[in-house]
Structures are given as structure tokens and as C-alpha cells.
Amino acid sequence: MVGRLNIALMDKPNTLGALTTIIGKNNGNIINIKIVNRDADLFEILLDIEVRDTSHLVDIIASLRSHRVVHSVERAKSR
């Protein structure tokens, strides 16, 4: 299953590294990433993640939301 997330991240050093680490530690597989918008404080990305099931995706979303560099995480419509 592939889940698509719309994520807003703080524009700080190592933010993208923290994001990928969280997903990797939760056994998710990033299959596509697109930066949609960027300003002085935040950047917004669309991220496609391969997961086992909906529960797995929900766990990854919860982990992302708990990290200080993640401003917001929402499920987006899949392709």
C-alpha cells in the first residue's frame, strides 16, 4: 500500500534527515518526494510512502507529528 502525505517542515538544518530517519525507523519506504512550496520558515512536501497497511501509515504519521521540526502532517489524496 502507498500512502501520500502532505508535510510542512521547519526550514532548519537536518530537517529532511530527521524526517527520513523517522520514516526509516518505522519501516516505511519513501518512494517519491516533491517539494511543493518553500518560504523563509517552512517548506511543504508531498511524500509517497510504501507501508504495510493503514495502521502502519497512522503509526508513521503519529511519529512524524511528535517531532519538533514537523509543523504539520496530513494525509493527501493518492494518485
* Structure confidence by residue, pLDDT tens digits, 9-58: 999 999 999 999 999 999 999 999 999 999 989 999 999 999 999 999 99
Q: Which domain holds residue 58?
A: 2-76
| Per-residue DSSP letter, 14 | T
pTM: 0.92
Domain count, the chain: 1
- Between the alpha carbon of residue 33 and those of residues 16, 20, 29, the distances in Å are 11, 11, 11
Strand ranges for 1-79 from DSSP E: 2-10, 29-38, 42-50, 70-76
Give the residues across from 76 on adjacent strands: 4
CATH number at 17 reads 3.30.70.260
Give the residues across from 45 on adjacent strands: 7, 35
